[in-house]
Amino acid sequence: MNPSKPRLLMMSCREATDLVSASLDRPLSIHERFMMRAHLLFCRACNEYSRQIGILEKILRLRRDERIDLQENGEIGLTEESREKILRSIRDEMRNRESGGPS
């Protein structure tokens, strides 16, 4: 943090990045939002962090929406071959346990 910043805006970079992250999960209070934005005006590193977090959030949201669309259309999931392989493994494991064999 630049020592020439006004005392009123003295939020540490750690506090600012914590608020940037928290803002993804919950609404910030007016005070938190003001302090974070004031810090971001003066601190290039935190401003860049905020920008990058925003980009990541947007990408993840788009991927989540894309995945939901694929699931709704039945275009995502296990193949029939994969399902059969899993079922065979489960059956084999159950037979081994019942016979006292290796698990």
pLDDT digits (tens, 9 = 90+) for 36-69: 999 999 999 999 999 999 888 888 888 777 666 6
Helix 13-25 crosses helix 30-42 at what angle (to 10 degrees)?
A: 130
The tokens for 20 are 């940037």
Rounded Cα–Cα distance for residues 58 and 93 (Å): 43
* CB burial readout 3-40, b (16+ within 10 A) else e: eeeeeeeebeeebbbebbeebeeeeeeeebeebbebbb
pLDDT at 91: 86
pLDDT at 94 over 50: yes
Q: Which of the two residues, 68 and 87, has the higher pLDDT score?
A: 87
User: What percent of the chain shows pLDDT beyond 70?
Assistant: 76
Query: Model-level pTM?
Result: 0.56
